[in-house]
Chain A
Amino acid sequence: MSESVLVLPKAAVLGKSHTSGWYVWRGIFTLLLLAGAYATYVRFTAGLGGVTNLSDHFPWGIWVGFDVLCGVGLAAGGFTLVAAVHIFNIERYKPIVRPAVLTAFLGYILVVVALLFDLGRPWNIWHPLIMWNPRSVMFEVAWCVTLYSTVLALEFAPAVFERLEWKRTLASLRVISIPLVIAGVLLSTLHQSSLGSLFLIVPRKLYPLWYSPMLPVMFFVSAVCAGLAMTIFESWHSSRAFGRQLEMPLLNGMARLLAVLLAVNLTIRFLDLLHRDALRLLLENRTETWLFALESALMLIPTVLLFSRRVRGNPTSLYFMALLVLFGFIANRLNVSITGMEAGSGVHYIPRWTEVAVTLAICALGFAVFRWAVLNLPVFEEKE
């Protein structure tokens, strides 16, 4: 990690004059933040009942299903790329490690922000650190997320210290970098799979197309897929937003790995249904069947097409494949946490607009901070 490699984007980008598109995005951003601010006010004055459609029979909604489960999964690109470069020593991926770590770090911060909304008593969020219950999956997730966020902060810290030119601090971080990387990969493996283990406790509530003793394994594999897809997605958008060239050979190689992992993912899902004798459920004409079909199709299309060199080689088709994987992943997490739980709990849940407003405002903030960091810190590698 020599300091001279990573620099700020060209000054030309910073000084670009504002187009009409810029004003439209700025307007949408402001609207989302205003709606989010209103929902925040109601949330913390009137309680969860004032802004959510949650109920005694349906205590977890989109703040858990989307903000937390999807947020953590989409941030999995961080540990995947860190492992590829620093453990497996695949040096050519080095240029995209830092943006992936930044995405992951921001992702985890946003997950914690979302938790502050969702927890009934958010000021007690630190309690798992001193009040232990090692039999609880939630306890393990709380510890892993806390520790891993610290690891991510330390992994991204060199970008900040390079900017500040704190050479001594940089050197001391380099000494602990390998143990840090290994700890990060282990912690990620643990909590990505544990988010699936959370649902092992509801065998009679979660619809059997999703309930499986293999949930931890499935959550881990699909999170790695989502993390890689997110890295492709974010490289594509960064290249457009900051006028950078797309690292196509790199992304091509990553898409290949993604194709293999997606195939592994689908194989596990299929074998799981087969061994649990749950394939026959696919013949039932129920909402769950169609949602399962949607989720599977979203994953199956990129799995097949990404094996084609032409699809991988074209930036636009590669981007759309990554998008399908992301949608398939989100559909899966929402099915496990929300739609798959409806029949078992006997109530129908549709998020209230204020729940959606908080989620969108948090996402918008994430994009804004990412943009700020890319413009002000050495995140992307300079093109020769």
Chain B
Amino acid sequence: MCIGCRACEQGCAQRWNLPWNETIGAEERLSAHKLTTITTHDGRYSRRLCMHCAEPTCVSVCPVGALQKTAFGPVVYDANKCMGCRYCMTACPFQVPVYEWNKRVPRVRKCDMCRDRQAAGKPTACAEACPTGATSCGDRDTLIAEAKRRMTASPNDYYPQIYGLKEVGGTSVLMLSAVPFDQLGLRTDLPGQPLPGLTWAALAHVPDVVSVGGVLLGGIWWITHRREDVARAEGGGKEPRS
């Protein structure tokens, strides 16, 4: 349905008070001044924006909790907490968070699904700006039902999968396409499980290391120094330890 008019980009730029012109429109990649973009693939159009994962990788990796998943779906960022380690950027499987590289007090930038507009019951700026209805906004289950209805109604127009239904445990942004998703430059090799489980598998062992390690080290210390005490009690030659 997308005709590549970039009205979503302009709507988004307006909402964030960011500049937009033909040059910026032609950039086709996310950056600190472009939080959503149309991408062109052999005459077909796709969009990039934060996918707002159900179990976001960025939220799990942020050491200070500057990124949070809100109840209505948006993943939001609090610059006042952020210390700028950029682990969210490294970790995001969709390479969405971008940085204000040339600012003295830089922020991570990303789409927040127009959290304030949503709270006021309005659609996102990009969905409102879209003249063809290619981007629409609503309850996730309703959108999934609508996607399935379209795929059944005109099976020739749609590739029979919803991008974001299962990727990294599901996302709050869903995409439909006429061609396989990798032809639109989307990653199709992502696991179906949320990524935070990968680091949690290691972090979960921290209490084990502390308790077992502590007892073990204490025990070794006691045994190795006990030998000395015994040797001293028996009149052995070793100096008493200080």
Binding site for B on A (CB under 8 A): 1-2, 44-50, 52, 54-57, 59-60, 83, 86-89, 118-122, 124-125, 127-128, 131-142, 174, 178, 181-182, 185-186, 189-190, 193-194, 197-198, 200-205, 213, 216, 341, 345
Residues of A within 8 A of B104 (CB): 44-47
Shortest Cβ-Cβ A-B pairs, 8 listed: A120-B84, A49-B101, A89-B224, A124-B83, A138-B63, A139-B63, A49-B102, A59-B89
Interface centre among B31, B61, B82, B187 (most CB of A within 10 A): B61
B198–A201 CB distance below 8 A = yes
Which of A120, A140, A186, A204 lies in contact with B99, CB distance below 8 A? A120
A345 to B84, CA, bound (A): 20
Among B198, B217, B218, B228, contact of A203 (Cβ-Cβ < 8 Å): B198
Interface string of B14-54 (1 = CB under 8 A from A): 00000000000000011110000000000000000000000
For A59, the chain B residues whose CB sits under 8 A away are 86, 89-90, 99
Give the docked Cα–Cα distance between A201 and B81 (Å).
22
Cβ B90 vs Cβ A202 within 8 A: yes
Could you tell me if A197 and B209 are in contact, using CB atoms closer than 8 angstroms? no
Set A45, A47, A190, A198: member contacting B106, Cβ < 8 A: A47
Residues of A within 8 A of B87 (CB): 136, 138, 198
- A55 to B213 alpha-carbon distance, docked (Å): 40
Contact (Cβ within 8 A) B242 A127: no
- Cα A141 to Cα B202 in complex, Å, equals 13
Q: A124-B84, A125-B83 are in contact. Are A201 and B199 (CB under 8 A)?
A: yes
Say whether B31 contacts A56, CB under 8 Å.
yes
Q: A186 — nearest CB in chain B belongs to which residue?
A: B213
Are A47 and B84 in contact, CB atoms less than 8 angstroms apart?
A: no
Q: Which of A48, A56, A198 contacts B98 (CB 8 A)?
A: A56
CB pair B218–A135 under 8 Å, yes or no, is no
A262 to chain B, nearest CB (A): 23
A200 touches B102 (CB 8 A): no
CA distance A186 to B214 in the complex (A): 7
Contact call B217/A186, Cβ cutoff below 8 A: yes
Q: List 6 additional contacts besides A89-B224, A134-B203; criterion CB under 8 Å.
A: A45-B104, A59-B99, A121-B106, A124-B83, A125-B83, A136-B199
Contact B217 A185 (CB under 8 A): yes
Say whether B136 faces chain A, with CB atoms less than 8 Å apart. Answer: no
How near does chain A come to B147, taking the closest CB pair, in angstroms? Answer: 25
| Minimum C-beta distance from B15 to chain A (A) | 20
Interface residues of chain B, those whose CB is within 8 Å of chain A, are 29-32, 57, 60-66, 81-87, 89-91, 93, 95, 97-107, 187, 189-191, 195-196, 198-203, 206, 209-210, 213-214, 217-218, 220-221, 224-225, 227-228, 242
Considering the chains assembled together, what is the distance between the CA atoms of A200 and B85 in angstroms? 17
The answer to whether A138 touches B95, judged by C-beta atoms less than 8 angstroms apart, is no
**A119 and B83 within 8 A (CB):** yes
Contact among A47, A137, A197, A204 with B187 in the assembled complex (CB-CB below 8 Å): A204
Give the residue name and chain of the A residue nearest to B30 (CB): A56
Q: Which residues of A contact B89 (CB under 8 A)?
A: 56, 59
Chain A residue numbers with a CB within 8 Å of B98 are: 56
Q: Which residues on the B side are within 8 Å of A204 (C-beta)?
A: 93, 187, 189-190
Question: A218 to nearest B CB, angstroms?
Answer: 12
Whole-angstrom distance from the CB of A153 to the nearest CB of chain B? 20
Q: Could you tell me the distance in whole angstroms from the C-beta of A162 to the nearest C-beta in chain B?
A: 13
Q: How far in angstroms is the closest Cβ of chain B from A254?
A: 18
Contact (Cβ within 8 A) A47 B83:
no
> What's the least CB distance linking A345 to chain B, in Å?
7
The answer to whether A83 and B217 touch across the interface, beta carbons within 8 angstroms, is: yes
* Bound-state Cα–Cα, A83 to B198, Å: 30
Partner of A121, one of B29, B31, B82: B82
Q: Can you name 27 A-B residue pairings with CB atoms under 8 Å?
A: A2-B242, A49-B102, A54-B101, A56-B31, A56-B89, A56-B97, A57-B95, A87-B221, A118-B85, A121-B106, A128-B64, A131-B64, A131-B65, A135-B60, A137-B199, A137-B203, A138-B63, A138-B85, A142-B63, A178-B221, A186-B213, A190-B206, A197-B203, A200-B202, A203-B191, A203-B198, A341-B90
CA–CA, A341 and B213, complex, Å: 33
Contacts of B214 in A (CB 8 A): 182, 186
Given the complex, which residues of B lie within 8 Å of A186, measured CB to CB? 209-210, 213-214, 217
